[in-house]
Amino acid sequence: MFSRVLVANRGEIALRVIRTCRRLGIETVAVYSEADRGAVYLRLADHRYCIGPPEVARSYLKIESIIAAAEVADVEAIHPGYGFLAENARFADVCRSCQIAFVGPPVEALSLLGDKVKAKALAKKAGVPVVPGSDGPVADDKAALELAHKIGYPVLIKAAAGGGGRGMRAVHNDASLVTALAAARAEAQIAFGASAVYIEKLIERAHHVEIQILADAHGNVIYLGERDCTVQRRHQKLIEETPSPVLTPKLREAMGRAAVRLVKEAGYVNAGTVEFLVDKDLNFYFIEVNSRIQVEHPVTEMATGLDIVEEQLRIASGEPLRYRQKDVNPTGHVIECRINAEDPDAGFAPRPGRIVTFFPPAGDGIRIDTHVHSGYEVPPQYDSLVAKLIVRGADRMDAIRRMRGALDEFILDGIPSTIPFHRRVLDHPAFLKGEHYTKFVDEELME
Ligand code: ADP
Ligand code: ADP
Ligand code: MG
């Protein structure tokens, strides 16, 4: 195992990784931008280095600065968290050339899966069902129209390099397809630096169900069950739970096996997530792989008792998996609510600012992942996530009741947050019956 690790991230996930390192006796090196100078969680690291000004391009995304800190601190490994450089193949490549272990997949798997078009082709090759659509990036308007006629409207235009819920456009007819295509290309170029787009059938009233996997460097791959992330706004997750209210044991096993086949085909190593959509007839379709730890990983940790960050570090240091598929037995029902500094009534617009009082719920079956506290100033430059509230119950209804209680207890004054929104979802009949779908918040709840 490593003796010193740099955490190339900020906020709750940086703290989350530091916690596991401390428990494992690994020394930690934190990095921070000027906007995070003095942040309380940085005190829990053994060493900390300022890597630049608040703008991400000059700090958390600046490979040179992070590598410089890693060299000065003489670390053996870098944990990238999620977002920022976590899925950046060039960063993983630079780490490799500096002989620093990147706690994530090999460069080749990262570049392959970072391109959603290539990832879909790979899934097909591994015998994993994919959403019907273009076999590659769409070449021109003519090809797009032909394809849309073949698969039938509505269709979705997606950026090959997309992520974070961005770069998607639903299209309902020929007239809007051509204009949407041009707009999507332009947007993708600006947002992701690559204009390639592809077309998929728009799966209506779908559940988003993803499979957490662990793969070691010795060819062993296991899945840790699923997370249902159907409660979303603008393609971004707000609530995640396990087990999924729509999966049967048979479907779970089929999806788990499909995920394992796919990551084996990709030569993937470390923790990762294979995302699927499940339609109302319970057909499942691969959409993408997230080649990193995910925001919602604690849901799986609470259900399985595993520490995914520990497994990531062990895998990156070359250890074989300590579990076989039969050793993984998730129990109970776990729900996570993302507490964001956002105003749900203003289209979930970010509302950074000073938190006056922060008093999170606690007690049996409650986990809070956060870096904030009373008096903390949420900086405007970064993600609006301030806390993750994860609750475990005996079954789904028990978990929902406990989550309602935890949200009612949660005191967060000074800035608007998603707490009241979550409370509304947890009372909504569609959610209670598991009959919600990925557009349910946008189309029904907020109407
Ligand atoms: P998860 O599936 O783990 O919830 P998200 O899609 O919510 O993943 O992304 C996790 C984090 O990474 C968020 O902070 C999100 O803003 C960021 N992120 C993901 N992909 C991108 C991307 N392509 N560009 C910028 N930020 C991204
Ligand atoms: P990102 O990289 O931004 O996470 P994904 O491909 O994972 O993009 O899709 C994010 C979300 O967008 C999904 O959870 C789902 O709500 C929606 N989505 C993606 N593809 C489709 C599709 N073919 N049909 C319907 N909804 C989709
Ligand atoms: Mg996704």
Options 3.30.70.1450, 3.30.1490.20, 3.20.20.140, 3.40.50.20; CATH of 132-201: 3.30.1490.20
Which residue's CA is minimally distant from atom 3 of ligand 1?
294
CA of 166 to the centre of ligand 1 (A): 9
What is the spatial distance between Cα 221 and Cα 31, in angstroms, rounded to a whole number?
32
Which residue's CA is minimally distant from atom 2 of ligand 2?
163
The verdict on whether 234 is a catalytic residue reads no
DSSP strand pairing (4-7 vs 77-79): parallel
Q: Can you name the residues that pair with 77 across neighbouring β-strands?
A: 5, 101
Please identify which of the residues 292, 314, 392, 402 carries the catalytic annotation.
Answer: 292
Q: Say what the pLDDT of residue 167 is.
A: 84
Options 2.30.110.10, 3.40.50.300, 3.40.50.2000, 3.40.50.20; CATH of 4-103: 3.40.50.20
Q: At what angle do helices 107-114 and 249-266 cross, to 10 degrees?
A: 120
89, 229, 210, 232: which is closest to 161 by C-alpha? 89
Q: Say what the pLDDT of residue 165 is.
A: 86
3-state per-residue secondary structure call for the chain: CCCEEEECCCHHHHHHHHHHHHHCCCEEEEEEEHHHCCCHHHHHCCEEEEEECCCHHHCCCCHHHHHHHHHHHCCCEEECCCCCCCCCHHHHHHHHHCCCEECCCCHHHHHHHHCHHHHHHHHHHCCCCECCECCCCCCCHHHHHHHHHHHCCCEEEEEEEEECCEEEEEECCHHHHHHHHHHHHHHHHHHHCCCCEEEEECCCCCEEEEEEEEECCCCCEEEEEEEEEEEEECCEEEEEEECCCCCCHHHHHHHHHHHHHHHHHHCCCEEEEEEEEECCCCCEEEEEEECCCCCCHHHHHHHHCCCHHHHHHHHHCCCCCCCCHHHCCCCCEEEEEEEECEEHHHCCEECCEECCEEECCCCCCEEEEECCCCCCEECCCCCCEEEEEEEEECCHHHHHHHHHHHHHHCEEECCCCCHHHHHHHCCCHHHHHCCCCCCHHHHHHCC
Ligand nearest 191 Cα, by number? 1
What is the spatial distance between Cα 267 and Cα 289, in angstroms, rounded to a whole number?
13
Per-residue model confidence as pLDDT tens for the chain (447 residues): 999 999 999 999 999 999 999 999 999 999 999 999 999 999 999 999 999 999 999 999 999 999 999 999 999 999 999 999 999 999 999 999 999 999 999 999 999 999 999 999 999 999 999 999 999 999 999 999 999 999 999 999 999 999 988 889 999 999 999 999 999 999 999 999 999 999 999 999 999 999 999 999 999 999 999 999 999 999 999 999 999 999 999 999 999 999 999 999 999 999 999 999 999 999 999 999 999 999 999 999 999 999 999 999 999 999 999 999 999 999 999 999 999 999 999 999 999 999 999 999 999 999 999 999 999 999 999 999 999 999 999 999 999 999 999 999 999 999 999 999 999 999 999 999 999 999 999 999 987
Q: Say what the pLDDT of residue 304 is.
A: 98
Which residue's CA is minimally distant from atom 13 of ligand 2?
235
Return the ∠ at Cα 152 (arms to 151 and 154), rounded to 5°: 115
Establish whether residue 83 lines the binding site of ligand 1, counting it when its CB lies within 6 angstroms of any ligand atom. yes
- Domain ranges for the chain, please list them: 4-103, 132-201, 207-445
Establish whether residue 350 lines the binding site of ligand 1, counting it when its CB lies within 6 angstroms of any ligand atom. no
Ligand 1 atom having least distance to the Cα of 161: 23
Q: Which amino acid appears at position 268 of this protein?
A: Y
Options 3.50.50.60, 1.10.357.10, 3.30.470.20, 3.30.465.10; CATH of 207-445: 3.30.470.20
Q: Can you name the residues that pair with 31 across neighbouring β-strands?
A: 49
**Tokens in use for 246?**
């729509």
**Tokens in use for 152?**
């039938």
CA of 395 to the centre of ligand 3 (A): 27
Q: Which residues lie near ion ligand 3 (Cβ < 5 Å)?
A: 275
Output the CA–CA distances (angstroms, integers) from residue 402 to 184, 433, 441, in the order listed: 42, 17, 22
CA of 172 to the centre of ligand 2 (A): 17
CA of 143 to the centre of ligand 1 (A): 30
229, 227, 238, 332: which is closest to 271 by C-alpha? 227
What is the spatial distance between Cα 39 and Cα 62, in angstroms, rounded to a whole number?
20
Backbone angles phi, psi at 214, to 5 degrees: -130, 130
What is the spatial distance between Cα 356 and Cα 374, in angstroms, rounded to a whole number?
5
Output the CA–CA distances (angstroms, integers) from residue 298 to 14, 92, 392, in the order listed: 14, 25, 11
